[in-house]
Structure 1
Amino acid sequence: MKNGRDFPGDAEVLRTELRKKMLKARAALAPAGAAEKSARIVKRLVAMDEYRQARTIMSYVDFRGEVQTGDLIVRAMADGKRVAVPVTDMAGRQLKPSLLVDFPGDLEPNAWGIMEPKPRCLRFVDPAGLDLVVVPGLAFDLKGYRLGYGSGFYDRFLPLTGKGTVFVGLAYELQLQIDVYHRRHDVPVHYILTEERLIDCRD
């Protein structure tokens, strides 16, 4: 049977169409509904043992309708955790985690409108020292594979973390798909959290 792994050309067409579909579906969420669902997802995350035991976490800063992470970052800092956010190194095509001291005061929009630390607020840390990474995505399948925007930043970054680092994908229930047509080098998350459930992708 044909699938994206064996027929990469076909898979890229399918991935492109799925990106369009997911962007449209996510944009259709009412702001109040998105905020309510995000709050439920964050509540589910902070109840996890993996969160409670984590000393250093990295979380994306939400952008373009992603599950909102502002409350998570505030909560984690209040809980005494070291919180890093990703900085995009376009020249090196990689993500670099930078610790926050003041949220959102440390941040400003980068060239693409994503909130990142200001140059004077950069405090880079070793990815291997992260205990938990909160991962965004346009779509996820139940095996933990994710569809991003196509640049591959997280798939290059996640292998740089420690052996025990836990990857948690945040998604609205509508973003769960039967297949995201993952590629061989794609890195799955260990858990997916939606407003309805926690999915252990390691099973």
Structure 2
Amino acid sequence: MRAPHLRRIVAATAVGIAAMFLLPPAAWAHVPVSPDTAETGERATVAFRVPNERDDATTVRLEVRFPEDKPLASVTPQTVAGWSVSVTTTELPQPVATEHGTISEAVTAIVWEGGQIPVGTYQDFPVGIASPPAGTLVMKTLQTYSDGQVVRWIDVPQAGQAEPEHPAPALSVAPPAAPGSTSDTTARVLGGAGLAAGLVALGWAAVRRKPAPFLAVGEREKARL
């Protein structure tokens, strides 16, 4: 790859990363959950990042609704300064068997209210999810402004279609990687190859730097001839 082309790629990547941090919250145009991936069997800690997209009102309430088709036995919200929080637990129509046992009730909603997100700012609302099930957890979210407007982040993206105007936050949960999986083996092979290449390079460098053998005075004279 030519150096100028490489420099352009590096510059474009840097600009993209900077934009993620420097653009105002309104430029996000959605309520993301971060991180948006997790592994089943592990406790996931994620945060709903809520920007205030209005310039004439503040955000005063956030409601997150969890999917009933993938029931969550335990969702624990983190305290957010200035906000009160309430958790809604609902009894399931039928008990559901999970890898951690059968559950008869699940967390279906969390509501934060009483605080405010001022114009031009955002607020993170963290939660801990115990052992989320595998699959995609679509968490429909309602954002309420001080003038009563409710923005419903509930649209589910469809494969092959443009992103909807108000996409719902979604968490992709994958099974844990099995020990000795193909990816682990590949990583080890590549790591070993890199180490071997490094040792070869060091050996070659040592050979090139090896000093010339000592020659007696007479031998040096013969070498000149």
TM-score for the superposition, normalised by structure 1: 0.27
Indicate the structure with greater helix content.
Answer: 1
| Bigger Rg, which one | 2
